[in-house]
Amino acid sequence: MRATEPQATGRTSGNPPGSTPSLVAESLSKSFLSGNVRERILRDLSVSIMPGELTLISGPSGCGKSTLLAILSGMLRPDAGMVRALGQDLGLLQLQELERFRLMHTGFVFQGFNLFPALTAVEQVVLPLRYVGLSKPRAEEQAWAALEEVGMSGRARQRPSGLSGGEQQRVAIARALAKEPELLFADEPTSALDAGNGMKVIDILHRIAKRHGATVLCVSHDPRLISHADRVLTMEDGRILDDRRTGALVAET
């Protein structure tokens, strides 16, 4: 969530990408036990992610994309290495402080939308805003603005059962966007959608990066999305093999 006063990152809404990364990972390692065998999933991985950009992490299934996203977002601790998010070393935070950091500064969009079946679209977006302490009128105002931004204000009174998959994902993006997080993470946000809706969703994520100066980090193995990102990191076997800028243009609404 953005502070009223400018923060230490020196970013203001809508600024073009600066030279200061918003996310820095140094020498990350992570392994998981698979039966009796310990499998190394991330291998001494270092990367810096910039604000105001949509960065895509691509690569084959099982190469560690979601694990990297989970560590960069503070959901998972690495075995070794360091993550600095918005200047904060996440490894130095106690669990409660880390949860607070995530609540105030990060938003998530998942493959399965994760909407509450009984709530209307606007209620889905209002709920987390109330949780971070906004008054009801302020939360409703921000929720409507976020739904407007993703082109869903006309469907705001619908429950998930009355919405298409693409529309549900746009509501989920509005929910993540409404608290104005500096860091927006998306794990396979288009994989349950057809090509047209997938493109719409990725273009919305791209626009959020540009308009809000947010850091948008998206995991996907969908090759159609590559030309829609500003930067593509290709992973294989727990490492980043390729780091490319695409010169992608933001689609207008």
Ligand X SMILES: Nc1ncnc2c1ncn2[C@@H]1O[C@H](COP(=O)(O)OP(=O)(O)OP(=O)(O)O)[C@@H](O)[C@H]1O
One residue of 67, 169, 197, 234 binding ligand X per CB under 6 A: 67
Binding window for ligand X (CB under 6 A); candidates: 61-69, 112-120, 153-161, 202-210: 61-69
CB of 252 to ligand X, least distance (A): 31
One residue of 52, 64, 107, 181 binding ligand X per CB under 6 A: 64
Told to check if 221 binds ligand X by CB under 6 A, we report yes
One residue of 8, 15, 32, 249 binding ligand X per CB under 6 A: 32
Binding window for ligand X (CB under 6 A); candidates: 63-71, 124-132, 154-162, 201-209: 63-71
Told to check if 191 binds ligand X by CB under 6 A, we report no
Told to check if 63 binds ligand X by CB under 6 A, we report yes
One residue of 6, 10, 14, 62 binding ligand X per CB under 6 A: 62
Which residues are CB-contacts of 35 (< 8 A; sequence separation ≥ 6)?
none
Q: Give the residue with the Cβ less far from ligand X, 20 or 31.
A: 31
Binding window for ligand X (CB under 6 A); candidates: 58-66, 113-121, 132-140, 159-167: 58-66
One residue of 9, 66, 88, 158 binding ligand X per CB under 6 A: 66
Q: Which residues bind ligand X (CB under 6 A)?
A: 32, 34, 41, 59, 61-67, 221
